[in-house]
C-alpha cells in the first residue's frame, strides 16, 4: 500500500474557492465526503476525517480533548493554516454563534413524541423502584429509551436542571424493576 501522505495529497485540489479573502484559497478534499460535508480517508481500516489527517501530516499529533477546527468554515477544506485547535465545546459554540447548524428543539422539533407538559409530568412522576420507566413509557405511549432520554436530560434540556447526573443510578435501580 502507498504511504498515507501520497494517498492523501492525490485527493486535494490546491486551487479551491476563496471563502474568506483574508485566508486565501481553500485546499479542497476531492474524494469521499460524509453526510456533513467533511472529507474522509480510510486509514488502517477506519474512516478518518481528512482535515484531522491533514493536521497530523502537516502539524503533528492532535492533543487529547482537542480537534482541528475550520477558520474558513468550509468542511471540505484541509489547508493546515485554515485550521486551528479547539475543544468540542468551542467548536459547538463557534458553530452556534455563526448559525451554521441550528436544530429546532422541544415542541418545535420535527421528531418529537412528547409535549412540554408531558416531559414535566414524566420528570415529576418518576420515582426509582416505585414508578418504573416501563410504566411511564406505557402511560405516555413512547419507548423506554425515550423516557430515559427525558430523565437523563438528553432531550428537552430547556426544562429545569435534570442534567442526567443521576442517570446511571436511576438506570441501574430501574433495571431491576423493569
Residue 23: predicted pLDDT: 94
Q: Return the residue matching grid coordinates 453526510.
A: 35
pLDDT score at 49 = 96
Contacts by 65-74, CB closer than 8 A, 24 or more apart? 67/91, 69/94, 71/20, 71/23, 72/19, 72/20, 72/23, 72/26, 73/19, 73/20, 73/98, 73/100, 74/16, 74/17, 74/19, 74/26, 74/28
> Are residues 82 and 155 located together in one domain of the fold?
no
Residue 49's CATH number? 3.90.75
144-151 helix and 167-175 helix, angle to the nearest 10 degrees = 150
Same domain, 72 and 118: no
* The predicted structure's pLDDT at residue 73: 87
Give me the number of domains the chain comprises: 2
Are 11 and 75 members of one domain?
A: yes
Q: Do 85 and 47 fall into the same domain?
A: yes
pLDDT one digit per residue (tens) for the chain, 178 residues: 788 989 999 999 999 889 889 999 999 999 999 878 899 999 999 999 999 999 999 999 999 999 999 999 889 999 999 999 999 999 888 877 776 554 556 666 555 778 889 999 999 999 888 899 999 999 999 989 889 888 987 777 666 544 443 433 444 444 344 4
The pLDDT of residue 155: 72
Q: Is 35 exposed, middle or buried (0-12, 13-18, 19+ CB in 10 A)?
A: exposed
Are residues 79 and 10 part of one domain? yes
Domain end among 97, 123, 152: 97
Question: CA–CA separation, 153 vs 166, rounded Å?
Answer: 10
Give the Cα-Cα-Cα angle 26, 32, 38 (nearest 5 degrees).
Answer: 50
**The pLDDT of residue 93:** 87
Range of the domain at 163: 106-175
Same structural domain, 9 and 51: yes
Q: Provide the pLDDT for residue 165.
A: 35
Q: What is the pLDDT of residue 176?
A: 40
Q: How many other CB atoms are found less than 10 A from the CB of residue 61?
A: 8
- The residue assigned the cell 482535515 is 51
Alpha helices in 59-99 (DSSP H): 88-97
Q: Which residue bears the cell 465526503?
A: 33
pLDDT at 62: 97
pLDDT, position 158? 61
Q: Are residues 92 and 119 in the same domain?
A: no
Amino acid at each position: 500500500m502507498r504511504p498515507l501522505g501520497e494517498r492523501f495529497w492525490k485527493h486535494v485540489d490546491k486551487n479551491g474557492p476563496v471563502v474568506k479573502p483574508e485566508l486565501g484559497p481553500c485546499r479542497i478534499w476531492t474524494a469521499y465526503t460524509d453526510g456533513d460535508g467533511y472529507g474522509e480517508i480510510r486509514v488502517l481500516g477506519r474512516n478518518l476525517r481528512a482535515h484531522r489527517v491533514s493536521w497530523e501530516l502537516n502539524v503533528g499529533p492532535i492533543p487529547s480533548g482537542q480537534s482541528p477546527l475550520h477558520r474558513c468554515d468550509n468542511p471540505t477544506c484541509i489547508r493546515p493554516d485554515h485550521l486551528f485547535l479547539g475543544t468540542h465545546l468551542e467548536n459547538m459554540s463557534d458553530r452556534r454563534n455563526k448559525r451554521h447548524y441550528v436544530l429546532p428543539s422541544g415542541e418545535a422539533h420535527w421528531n418529537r413524541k412528547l409535549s412540554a407538559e408531558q416531559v414535566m409530568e414524566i420528570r415529576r412522576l418518576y420515582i426509582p423502584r416505585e414508578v418504573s420507566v416501563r410504566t411511564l413509557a406505557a402511560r405516555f405511549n413512547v419507548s423506554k429509551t425515550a423516557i430515559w432520554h427525558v430523565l437523563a436530560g438528553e432531550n428537552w434540556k430547556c426544562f429545569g436542571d435534570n442534567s442526567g447526573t443521576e442517570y446511571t443510578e436511576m438506570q441501574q435501580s430501574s433495571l431491576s424493576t423493569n
